[in-house]
Structure 1
């Protein structure tokens, strides 16, 4: 049972990392290159869509890592899982304090109602997101090492 938990947790976190890397380095770059208001509309739609899914994914990953740490307590690699869990906590805190407020504003914007500094706000979200991506990549790496 522990083996299945370890694999499911690692795969779930790995998929989350893949989505977030894609957002950071592919999707947002594509959206930023679109003409006129298309990029801003795409970011707003993405903010609504992923903003509804990602809280469950982040919290679910954290819960699974915590269960893994408790279930494997005293075994080799548990310290890595605990550290990964700490990084996942950091990613959730970063999300709530830094990224979600910007996302909540941005997902409601249209070309007619967006603020004059909308691009600066999106760039700020991107910078925070890069740091969050680094944090969850580190957590994923620790889980992989603990698994093997």
Structure 2
């Protein structure tokens, strides 16, 4: 049973990492290349979609890691799992304290009501998202190492 939990947790976190990795390296460059206001509208739509789904994914991943850490506390690699959990906590805090407030503004923007500094706010979100991606990639690496 523990083996199944380990694999499921690693896959769930790994897919989340893949989705979040795709945002700055694939999705945002595509969005930035869209004509006129389409890019800003796409970012707003992406903010609504991500804002609805990602909280469950992040918290669900953290819960799975916590269950793995408790269930496997007497097994090799537990320290790696706990470290991954700590990194996921950092990613959740980073999201709630920095990224979500920006996202909550972005998702309501239209070309008619966006603020003058909307591009600067997008760049700030992007910079913090790079940090979050680095943190969750590290968490995923610790989970993968715990499996080995």
The TM tier, using the shorter chain, reads over 0.9
Displacement after TM superposition at 1:74 (Å): 2.2
Please state if 1:51 is matched with 2:51: yes
Deviations 1:85-117 (A, max 9, x none): 000000000000000000000000000000000
Supply the distance in 1 between the matched residues of 2:24 and 2:65 (Cα, whole angstroms). 24
TM-score, length-scaled by structure 2 = 0.99
Over the aligned positions, Cα root-mean-square deviation in angstroms equals 0.5
Supply the distance in 2 between the matched residues of 1:99 and 1:64 (Cα, whole angstroms). 23
Residues paired across the two proteins, number: 148
Q: How does 1:59-70 map to 2 (within 5 A)?
A: 59-70=59-70
Supply the distance in 2 between the matched residues of 1:30 and 1:126 (Cα, whole angstroms). 14
Structure 2: give runs of 5+ residues left out of the alignment.
none
Q: How does 1:119-134 map to 2 (within 5 A)?
A: 119-134=119-134
Supply the distance in 1 between the matched residues of 2:74 and 2:98 (Cα, whole angstroms). 35
Structure 1 stretches of 4+ with a deviation exceeding 6 A read none
Supply the distance in 2 between the matched residues of 1:99 and 1:33 (Cα, whole angstroms). 23
Displacement after TM superposition at 1:24 (Å): 1.4
Supply the distance in 2 between the matched residues of 1:123 and 1:30 (Cα, whole angstroms). 15
TM-score, length-scaled by structure 1 = 0.99
